[in-house]
Amino acid sequence: MNTRQLFQTFAAPFLGILLFLAIWQVGAPKIVTSLGAVPGPVQVFEQFEGLLTEHQAARQKEVDFYQRQQERNTETLKEDPNAEVSIRPYTGKATFFDQILTSIVTVMTGFVLAGFIAIPLGIVAGLSQTVYSALNPLIQLFKPVSPLAWLPIVTMIVSAVYVTDNPAFDKSFITSALTVLLCCLWPTIINTTVGVANISKDLQNVSKVLRLSWWTHVRKIVLPSAIPMIFTGLRLSLGIAWMVLIAAEMLAQNPGLGKFVWDEFQNGSSNSLGRIMVAVIVIGLIGFALDRGMLFLQRHFSWDKSLALR
């Protein structure tokens, strides 16, 4: 690697970030809001440390809480071995890091469900012109609809349909996951369809000459051919899913990052802007990590390991 390449690979990105931080640090204090001056990167990092401390304190509290119950129970049992003892669950407030986890679980639920619907649908639409013609107007109609328009409908339907005495999931979780699902179906369907429809004519002829069954044809020829396009769709879908999730969580009050941002905004303390900015950066980093994760999966599933992925 020569100097120029070294510069481009390592120094240039570093300089870019540094420049951005500098502009932020200098510019931010000049804007004063009702919640005080806009925090610069240094203040935002302090808020991050604050959130981390809060999280550790909450964990400690939880550990202490269970330990106290344990001790109390042991004592009760010592006095009366037949006494009925129980451990009550800890119900402290979710910390920022708990909320990150909730968000990831929610987005993956919606995204994985969407994948299970979109990939088979895309394969069928790619193989059959009739199915494609039937599906295409619906895809074009629903694709541009904003998550904020879906959410009220999903909320009402979930409230009406999901009625149990002992719910395994929160309604807010289901509402958010379903909204994510509805918004991230489309890129995967479209890309899978295109990938399947463009299988090389020669390979289709091979399949015909061999008289492969429909299922073998899909497994041996369609899927391996369409994998790159399927993954392109999935990556687009996951990107959309993550963006949609934050909005959905704000409105559905699912205890994830979206709710965190909303609560801080409503809270309006002098720390709020800084904490929201921490959330913004974390949202960005997780979005990036999710995309890398999909790339990694694509490399794992693709037959062509030498393929340049970007």
Partner 1 sequence: MTTSNHPDHLLISQVSIDFPTPKGPFRALDKVNLRIEKGEFVSIIGHSGCGKSTVLNIVAGLYQATEGGVILDGREVNEPGPERAVVFQNHSLLPWLTAYENVELAVKQVFKGKKSRAEMKEWIEHNLTLVHMDHAMHKRPDEISGGMKQRVGIARALAMEPQVLLLDEPFGALDALTRAHLQDSMMEIQSTLGNTVIMITHDVDEAVLLSDRIVMMTNGPAATVGEILDVNLPRPRNRVEMAEMPEYIRCRHAVLQFLYERHGRKEASTPKAKVAAASADEESEPAKGNVVTMSKVTAKAA
Please report, as ranges, the residues that interact with partner 1 according to CB under 8 A. 200, 202-203, 205-206, 208-212, 216, 220-221, 224, 303-304
Of 69 and 302, CB closest to partner 1 = 302
Residue type, 253: Q
Q: Give the tokens for residue 96.
A: 């920022």
| Radius of gyration over every alpha carbon of the chain, rounded to an integer in angstroms | 25
Separation of alpha carbons 125 and 130, rounded Å: 8
- Closest CB 140 distance from partner 1, rounded Å: 27
Distance between CA atoms of residues 67 and 53, nearest Å: 21
Q: How far is the CB of 213 from partner 1 (least distance, A)?
A: 9
Closest to partner 1 by CB, 28 vs 123, is 123
Q: What is the closest distance, in whole angstroms, from the C-beta atom of residue 216 to partner 1 in the complex?
A: 8
**147 neighbors 175 (Cβ within 8 angstroms):** no
CB of 222 to partner 1, least distance (A): 11
Q: Which is nearer to partner 1, 104 or 203 (CB)?
A: 203
Q: Tell me which H or E stretch contains 262.
A: helix 257-267
Assess contact for 149 and 248: CB atoms under 8 A: no
CA 69 vs CA 63, 80, 90, 91, 175: distances in Å:
10, 16, 11, 14, 35
CA distance 288 to 29: 29
Least CB distance to partner 1 at residue 202 (A): 4
Q: Which is nearer to partner 1, 101 or 206 (CB)?
A: 206
- Min dist. Cβ of residue 192 to partner 1 (A): 17
* Closest CB to partner 1 among residues 194, 206: 206
Residue 173 or 231: the one with the smaller Cβ distance to partner 1 is: 231
Give the nearer residue to partner 1 in terms of CB position, either 196 or 276. Answer: 196
Please spell the DSSP secondary structure of 5-61, one letter per residue.
HHIIIIIHHHHHHHHHHHHHHHHGGG-EETTEEPP-HHHHHHHHHHHHHHHHHHHHH
Minimum CB separation of residue 303 from partner 1 in Å reads 3
